[in-house]
Chains A and B, each alone.
Chain A
Amino acid sequence: MVSFALLDWIWLILFIFLMVICGIIFYKLGKRSQSDFFLAGRGLPWWLPASSVYATHTATDTPIWVAGVVYKYGFAGLWYAFFAAWCAISAFVSTRIFRRSLAYSQAEWQGLRFGGLGAEMLRGWVAGWQVFMNMFILGWVGIAMGKLCNMLFGWELWIGLVVFTTLGAIYVLSSGYWGVVMADFQQGVIALLVIFIVSIWGVMAAGGPENIINKLKKFNSTCEWKVPDDTRDLAQGFIRITDPETKETLISSSSPFIISSGFNETKHAQMNKKVKSLIDNKEKPSQAAILFPVSGDTVFSGKEYNIVWTADKSKKLVNVEFSSNGNDWQTIAENRLDGQGWRINPFSFTGLFKGQFPVFWFVTMMIIALIGGFGMGTNIDWYTEAQRIQSAKTVRDASYSIWAGTALVLVRNSIWAAAIIGFFVLSPQLASMKEYEMAWYKVGFGFLPIGMVGFFFAGILAIHLSTVSTQLNLGAMYATRDFYHHYVNPKAKEQKLVVVGRISTFVILIGSFIFGTIIGEEITQWLIFALWIMAAGVWLPNILQVIWWRFNSWGYLSAWIANLGLSWLIVWVLPRFGIIPELPDYMQFWILVALNAMIYLPVTFLTKKENMDHLVKYYVMSRPIGFWGPVRKEAIKQGLM
């Protein structure tokens, strides 16, 4: 648990007070029109939406999962977060096309790009999906904040969820997107500096960059060994390292460690501290040895740990083995003997297709990220980015904002990674994801001096509020612009639309509390599956809708529907019945891309082309790149170009 001194409380309360005031000040501007309430009047210079892109995509759960992949895979884990690079291409392709269209939302853009009944069905579907998704994401990040406050202060889960989401809602309700973007700017500045400072502290705590590299070269660590369930209390255990070819024992425990059947938090914390000092003192180990677990250590049955032992210069693969009696050995893992230096190499591939970081996974991820930038909606982040694109005052400002905001996101990840590698050096024995994914929070609350602990929590609050405020305003935009204004009351006055925007914000806030309270581990898995659906089968259609004139609304709709069924089959159903093996995620992706194409391409060619006049109108307005020859010819023929 974290204890706050008076100074910590002063900084925290000061931050909350000033930040909410800054957001509310824009009340008068926000109430003028829906353009003000949802897009700040489309008059922002590039650096304001850029700071909003950065701040929005830094949430309380972001350092948790970045820590998780970097602790497990080293700097190579950063590639898991590299999907944000879709903006590198998008900034100069889809961003410009979308900004020129003047659509408020992706749903509205599809109404401009496609025509007729198919376009109406798409607009309704995308708008409904986005209202739901924003509510769900709010519940998700809200409960993440609730869990964090529970772990830090022992508060009930609902307190962190309700109090801090409501805090964000205050300025969103009053000022709309004006409040969001102004608070995001201020929160972005604070969050970036907090991340930078805490990472410096993390690296310092591990002895500095040179020391970190040296230590990584001097010891080894396996991945995720689960201690066998043993009902006997105080059972014994031994570890040894063997050569798999010669069967020779290279290193072994001199005496047994203890396996306890009952978990004890105090003993667990003491042991973590002991390993840290052990690693600190093993600058130059005189001889090869097991460092953890050793005689005097207690591990708990059913819990996960990494075995830690000294390294040598040999690159050969060795077996890490466990025995409960010193006679019968079982292999825990296969590992190299030359230390953990690979963790600082972002290209430490484990083979073309094999291991935890294969080349083919990397290539797939790069294609998804970079080629995806030609499309709209190839990444879930597109929907929030689209709002920022439209709020920029010119097409050029929109491009710069998306490029710069994402560049900051990628820089942020690298800064975090430095702290996580430092944390790994201090605690290489952690194998439970629940423990090591909290690394960044542990560094901040564990090493910062009094006063900066409150400042650190204010930074966490900043990253939380920036995400909450964006999702509230974005969900309300889809409800107001794409439902109420488009279907219910197309003649509504601007003032009325602002009122509807505020009511929608409130409804989404309440909905997020409901989702937040019912979200558990399983539902999070469902959400990941929902994101996977959006990424895989409709990835290519999301590009085709931008670059190919012949692709129509029926093709897009059929891709969505087919993908819902096919992804179930490929990811869960067929492997469960043994019809196909369980495939790695990158293989699932390519199979879904191919199978979906076999459905939506025939549907596209068997249904009517979009109306040419409708396409010409869209083309002249948005000037898309790609395969638009017939539409361009028609536009020239009509004297529009």
Chain B
Amino acid sequence: MITFIFLNTTRIGAPILGVIIPAIIFGFSFLVTYLLIRHFMKQNSQD
């Protein structure tokens, strides 16, 4: 029988962090992936 996860919820940090940190990390990871996609598309179109 699976039980629910027991959580002692105590939120730490300012609520604005919930906007800033994900925005920076998602933005960074997608930007780098986009540049990578562009690089490989260009490289493969030359092959």
- B30:A186 contact, CB within 8 angstroms: yes
Contacts known (A150-B2, A185-B33, A201-B13); A273 close to B18, Cβ less than 8 A: no
Contacts known (A22-B33, A151-B3, A272-B8); A193 close to B15, Cβ less than 8 A: no
Q: How many residue-residue contacts, CB under 8 A, span A and B?
A: 125
Contacts known (A1-B5, A276-B8); A451 close to B22, Cβ less than 8 A: yes
- A449:B25 contact, CB within 8 angstroms: no
Q: Decide yes or no whether A359 CB sits under 8 A from chain B.
A: no
- B37:A190 contact, CB within 8 angstroms: no
Contacts known (A154-B4, A185-B33); A11 close to B26, Cβ less than 8 A: yes
CB under 8 Å from chain A, chain B span 1-27: 2-15, 17-19, 21-22, 25-26
- A449:B18 contact, CB within 8 angstroms: yes
Determine the distance from Cα of A41 to Cα of B43 in the docked complex, in whole angstroms: 12
Residue count of chain B within 8 Å CB distance of chain A: 32
Residue of B nearest to A1 (CB): B4
Determine the distance from Cα of A150 to Cα of B37 in the docked complex, in whole angstroms: 36
CB under 8 Å from chain B, chain A span 137-195: 147, 150-152, 154, 157, 178, 182, 185-186, 189-190, 193-194
Determine the distance from Cα of A14 to Cα of B13 in the docked complex, in whole angstroms: 23
- B11:A448 contact, CB within 8 angstroms: yes
Q: Which of A1, A7, A178 contacts B19 (CB 8 A)?
A: A7
Q: Decide yes or no whether A454 CB sits under 8 A from chain B.
A: yes
Q: Decide yes or no whether A2 CB sits under 8 A from chain B.
A: yes
- B12:A189 contact, CB within 8 angstroms: no
Determine the distance from Cα of A458 to Cα of B25 in the docked complex, in whole angstroms: 11
**Shortest CB distance B40–A (Å):** 7
- A446:B7 contact, CB within 8 angstroms: yes
Determine the distance from Cα of A311 to Cα of B14 in the docked complex, in whole angstroms: 36
Determine the distance from Cα of A150 to Cα of B5 in the docked complex, in whole angstroms: 9
**Shortest CB distance B3–A (Å):** 7
Determine the distance from Cα of A338 to Cα of B29 in the docked complex, in whole angstroms: 46
Determine the distance from Cα of A277 to Cα of B44 in the docked complex, in whole angstroms: 60
Q: Decide yes or no whether A25 CB sits under 8 A from chain B.
A: yes
Contacts of A185 in B (CB 8 A): 32-33, 36
Contacts known (A182-B33, A205-B10, A445-B5); A450 close to B25, Cβ less than 8 A: no
- Contact bitstring A1-24, B, C-beta under 8 A = 1, else 0: 110000110010011001000100
Contacts of A269 in B (CB 8 A): 6, 8
**Shortest CB distance A376–B (Å):** 29
Q: Decide yes or no whether A438 CB sits under 8 A from chain B.
A: yes
- B26:A449 contact, CB within 8 angstroms: no
CB under 8 Å from chain B, chain A span 184-216: 185-186, 189-190, 193-194, 197, 201, 204-205
Contacts of B22 in A (CB 8 A): 11, 451-452, 454-455, 458
Determine the distance from Cα of A448 to Cα of B6 in the docked complex, in whole angstroms: 15
Contacts of A619 in B (CB 8 A): none
Determine the distance from Cα of A527 to Cα of B46 in the docked complex, in whole angstroms: 46
- B19:A451 contact, CB within 8 angstroms: yes
Contacts of A25 in B (CB 8 A): 37
- B37:A7 contact, CB within 8 angstroms: no
**Shortest CB distance B33–A (Å):** 4
Q: Which of B25, B32, B40 contacts A29 (CB 8 A)?
A: B40
Q: Decide yes or no whether A435 CB sits under 8 A from chain B.
A: yes
Q: Which of B2, B32, B40 contacts A189 (CB 8 A)?
A: B32
Contacts known (A151-B3, A190-B25, A445-B5); A182 close to B10, Cβ less than 8 A: no
Contacts of B14 in A (CB 8 A): 449
Residue of B nearest to A193 (CB): B25
**Shortest CB distance B32–A (Å):** 7
Determine the distance from Cα of A29 to Cα of B46 in the docked complex, in whole angstroms: 13
B interface residues (Cβ-Cβ under 8 A, vs A): 2-15, 17-19, 21-22, 25-26, 28-30, 32-34, 36-37, 40, 43-44
A interface residues (Cβ-Cβ under 8 A, vs B): 1-2, 7-8, 11, 14-15, 18, 22, 25-26, 29, 41, 43, 48, 147, 150-152, 154, 157, 178, 182, 185-186, 189-190, 193-194, 197, 201, 204-205, 265, 268-269, 272-273, 276, 434-435, 438, 441-442, 445-455, 458
**16 chain-A/chain-B pairs, Cβ below 8 angstroms:** A2-B5, A14-B26, A18-B30, A25-B37, A182-B40, A186-B33, A205-B12, A265-B4, A268-B6, A273-B8, A441-B5, A442-B8, A447-B10, A448-B18, A449-B14, A450-B15
- Would you list the 4 A-B pairs with minimal beta carbon distance, nearest first? A451-B18, A455-B22, A189-B29, A186-B33
